């Protein structure tokens, strides 16, 4: 079975929940990117996720997130 790969728009409690689900089921899910409002926020998100041990690409550019080839976007 292939992993389900998805990107997330926004980074609030719902996004954090989806990222946590993907982290708990790494054989089934992969977060490819998070799209946020600013480059500064993207840096914060990447630092927070790296501190948890699973870096996630965060960007303020939707095209960059879609370039990660997700199966769908939340």
53 pLDDT higher than 90: no
pLDDT, one tens digit per residue, over 4-41 is 999 999 999 999 899 999 999 999 999 999 999 999 99
Nearest to 31 by CA among 1, 51, 59, 40: 59
Calculate mean pLDDT across residues 62-73. Answer: 96
pLDDT bracket for residue 65 (50, 70, 90): very high
Gap between the Cα atoms of 11 and 28, Å rounded: 21
Q: What is the DSSP track for 45-63? A: HHHHHHHTT----EES-HH
Beta bridge mates, 9:
35
CA angle 18, 30, 12 (to 5 degrees): 25
1 pLDDT higher than 80: no
Q: Using only the alpha carbons of the chain, give its radius of gyration.
A: 11
pTM: 0.89
């Amino acid at each position: 079975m292939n992993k389900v790969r998805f990107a997330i728009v926004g980074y609030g409690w719902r996004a954090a929940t989806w990222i946590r689900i993907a982290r708990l089921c790494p054989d089934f899910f992969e977060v490819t990117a998070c799209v946020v409002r600013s480059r500064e926020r993207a840096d914060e998100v990447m630092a927070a996720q790296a501190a948890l041990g699973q870096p996630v690409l965060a960007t303020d550019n939707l095209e960059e997130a879609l370039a990660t080839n997700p199966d769908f976007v939340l």
